[in-house]
Amino acid sequence: MQIDKSCRYTSTHEWVRVEGDEVVVGISDFAQNQLSDITYVELPSVGDTLSAQDEVAVVESVKAASDIYAPIGGTVTEINDRLADEPEIINSDPYEEGWLFRMKPIDESDVEDLLDASQYESQLPSE
C-alpha cells in the first residue's frame, strides 16, 4: 500500500495535495484497494462551493458505492474528465492520474489541519 508523503489526508481516506494556490483531491491507495475494481465516478461540478465534510462525489465499484467528502472548504475549479470513461485509473494510480478534482481553498491553512502521512498511516487498520 502506498502513502504519498507529499499529501495530507482525512480520516475518511481523501487526500489533498497543494499545487500553487489550489489543492488537488483524490482518494488514498488504501481506499481504492478497499473498494476494489472502480466502475463509476460521480464528480462535483466546476464552480461548486464546498464546505469541509460536504458529500461531494461518489465512487462506485464492483463491491460498493462510497461517498467522497470535501476535505476542506473551497470552490471546485476543475474535475478529472478522464474518470468518466476510465474510472479504473483510480485503482492503478490514485495519487497522480486518478485525482478527482481541484479546488481553490477558502482558507489554505485548513490543509495543515489534516493528517500528515504518518498520522494517516497510524490510523489505518492493521493488515
User: Which structural domain, as residue segments, surrounds residue 109?
Assistant: 8-118
Place of cell 497543494: 18
Domain count, the chain: 1
Instruction: Please give the mean pLDDT across all residues of the chain.
Output: 96
The answer to whether residue 3 is domain-embedded is: no
Q: What is the four-CA torsion angle of 64, 120, 43, 25, rounded to 10 degrees?
A: -160
The answer to whether residue 42 is domain-embedded is: yes
The answer to whether residue 87 is domain-embedded is: yes
- pLDDT, tens digit, 9 for 90 and up, residues 92-109: 999 999 999 999 999 999
> Could you tell me the pTM of the whole model?
0.95
CATH number at residue 109: 2.40.50.100
The answer to whether residue 55 is domain-embedded is: yes
The answer to whether residue 82 is domain-embedded is: yes
Average pLDDT over residues 4-31: 97
Q: How far apart are CA 102 and CA 76, in angstroms?
A: 6
The answer to whether residue 59 is domain-embedded is: yes
Instruction: Find out whether 27 and 15 touch, Cβ atoms under 8 Å.
Output: yes
The answer to whether residue 102 is domain-embedded is: yes
